[in-house]
Amino acid sequence: MLLTSYRLGNLTLPNRLVMAPMTRARAVDGSPVAETATYYAQRATAGLIVTEGVHPNAVGQAGPFMPGIHNASQVEAWRVVTDAVHANGGRIFAQLMHGGRIGHPDVAGHHPVAPSAIAARTEVFTAAGVVPAPVPRALSLNEVRDQAQAFGDAARYAVEAGFDGVELHGANGYLIQQFLSSNANQRTDGYGGSISGRIRFAVEAVEAAVDAIGAERVGIRLSPGGEVQDIVEGEMPELYGELLKALPDMAYIHVLATTDDEMLMGLRKAWPSAFILNPGGQIGPHESTREQGERWLANGADLISYGRAYLGNPDLVERFRLGLPLVGTDRDTWFQTPRGYVDYPTYQH
């Protein structure tokens, strides 16, 4: 089933493999570079590519050398990328990722913002190295609305840059999940406290993107129960049940396997449109396999996303088709280095 076609919104995908978003940290001055176009174009046989996290405004930049999409020069640079992917027959969504409290003043000259002034018990990346996460500044009520609207503004820029759509990053401890959480979000206004308050920011951010570019071009990534970057989600099953009910119609939800199969199946049944499943869940020692993907398709998922398997295997679709071995990668080359980016070849018969 992985190699069968699928209709996603207004796109026909030639297979059900999705290249998952993965930070590569090779941008210059907030814009992708020429090699970025090569990197994504090499992987254009994927049914859908979702880019690395792209910050929707300056304060949303989570780490150094990460790209944004909130000004004209960034739009122009991303158009080179989308043109290259489309020229190779591919389809590409931009992942909009606001770091929230995962950031540092040394990264972009802005102090991180968050639902509440509570530091994550983790470390963050700066150009000078890894440092403890700072205490963020709590957003005012009007600022919360502005940050939600930033996703709509960035979605509009993304379509201008030639992207086929956007995915909001609601997972892995970044701003949207910070609002969903019960430890990072200690607000007592309408954006905190109850489940309806904690899901409100996520819903409004998605609504802003849908209003900007249309429902068929918008998805969201979720990691229910995920604890990356010091996240705790009280009442987790009820939280995600209510979130899925409140979200507007859109192209898909993209769920990491960060909880048990029973809950994942419940989310599949509760969501009326496309369901993308990432079997790898939180970062682990091994790439996900074709067998894992086929199992989840049999259990009701529509598409399967692969992350690290795509780093060393630009021809992952063909390797799965022919049963060819996969190439592993050196973690030291995941970020910033000239090696380990566009130098992985297709399989040599």
Q: How far apart are CA 125 and CA 116, in angstroms?
A: 21
What contacts 171, CB < 8 A, 6 or more positions away?
Answer: 177, 221, 222, 223, 226, 228, 256, 258
How many C-beta neighbours within 10 Å does residue 242 have? Answer: 17
Coil/strand/helix, residue 223: coil
Strand intervals (E) in the chain: 6-8, 11-13, 17-19, 48-54, 92-96, 113-114, 123-126, 129-132, 137-138, 165-170, 218-222, 252-256, 274-278, 303-306
Nearest to 231 by CA among 281, 193, 178: 178
Q: How far apart are CA 12 and CA 291, in angstroms?
A: 24
Query: Could you give phi then psi for residue 234, rounded to 5 degrees?
Result: -65, 150
236-246 vs 200-213: helix axis angle to the nearest 10? 30
- Are the C-beta atoms of 199 and 243 separated by less than 8 Å? yes
**Catalytic residue status for 174:** yes
Q: What is the CA radius of gyration of the chain?
A: 19
Query: Could you give phi then psi for residue 344, rounded to 5 degrees?
Result: -90, 120
Token digits of residue 151? 């996703």
Active-site residue, selected from the candidate residues 39, 40, 157, 174: 174
Give strand pairing partners of 48: 18
Q: Show which residues are catalytic.
A: 174
